[in-house]
Amino acid sequence: MQFLIDNFPLLWDAFLTTLSLSLLAGVLALVLGTALAAFRVSPIPPLRGLSTFYVETFRNTPLTVVFFFIIFGLPQIDFSVGFFTGSVLAVGLYTAAFVCEAVRSGINAVSAGQAEASRAIGLTFGQSLREVVLPQAFRSVVPPLGNVWIAMVKNTSIAAGFAVSELTASMQRLSNANAGELVLVLVAVVVGYMLITLPSAYAISRVERRVAILR
């Protein structure tokens, strides 16, 4: 117990780092992913192609490889980013591909009549997407987006290998220094992740029930 109290500041900092990394990457992924989904259903073929290419590339690449390219690849084209910023970028860009897929499936789930009706009353593509389709789509994608969010929180653990002192890095550090306390270290870190994932899961199911559309 004393061990945990002694190392509480370290673990708390690590927890906050994981949380802020998740939140920032989450915003990036949500914005970019939604834009990509809009591209994916847009009338302009190159935009559709670009979005498909993006999604297929990121979905099929391990996140660790994405990290390598952002942290050590970007300097090769003379862009250098900090480790935390780089991690936000890596996690955000990677997750955007999954957000895009989730939102797109949501768009597809909106009944065709809605889109046809909005076209019939003369809305443009942008208007019908913004005013009619996306608001409904977002309601039906709350659960898959929630899953993506939880998966993303867990994926931030990979930043441990790239000089970000988040929870998993603190686990490595503490277990190296205190080989006798391995189990305690593990429990502390697992609790740290659950402090984010379990309330998220609960909130998602609440929101899901509230916004669900009965069809």
Q: Which of residues 85-124 bind other proteins (CB under 8 A)?
A: 95, 98, 101-102, 104-109, 112, 115-116, 119
For residue 189, state whether it binds other proteins (rule: CB under 8 A): yes
At 148, list the tokens. Answer: 């993506």
For residue 135, state whether it binds other proteins (rule: CB under 8 A): no
For residue 212, state whether it binds other proteins (rule: CB under 8 A): no
Residues 6-65 that bind other proteins (CB under 8 A): 41-47, 50, 56-57, 59-65
For residue 138, state whether it binds other proteins (rule: CB under 8 A): no
In the complex, minimum distance from the CB of residue 161 to other proteins, in angstroms, rounded to a whole number:
5
Phi-psi group of 180: left, alpha or beta (phi > 0 → left; psi -120 to 50 → alpha; rest → beta): alpha
Stretch that binds other proteins, among 1-9, 19-27, 166-174 (CB under 8 A): 166-174
CA 40 to chain centre: 19
Which residue in 37, 88, 96, 148 binds other proteins (CB under 8 A)? 148
Please compute, for residue 104, the number of CA atoms within 13 A of its CA located in the half-sphere on the CB side: 20
For residue 70, state whether it binds other proteins (rule: CB under 8 A): no
In the complex, minimum distance from the CB of residue 114 to other proteins, in angstroms, rounded to a whole number:
9
Which residue in 179, 209, 210, 214 binds other proteins (CB under 8 A)? 179
CA 201 to chain centre: 14
Secondary structure (3-state) at 170 = helix
The 10 Å Cβ neighbour count of residue 77 is: 7
DSSP 132: I
**Residue 108 contacts by C-beta under 8 Å, 6 or more apart in sequence?**
none
In the complex, minimum distance from the CB of residue 184 to other proteins, in angstroms, rounded to a whole number:
10
In the complex, minimum distance from the CB of residue 206 to other proteins, in angstroms, rounded to a whole number:
15
Which residue in 163, 202, 203, 211 binds other proteins (CB under 8 A)? 163
Question: Based on the number of CB atoms within 10 Å of its own CB, is 71 exposed (0-12), middle (13-18) or buried (19 or more)?
Answer: buried
The 10 Å Cβ neighbour count of residue 189 is: 24
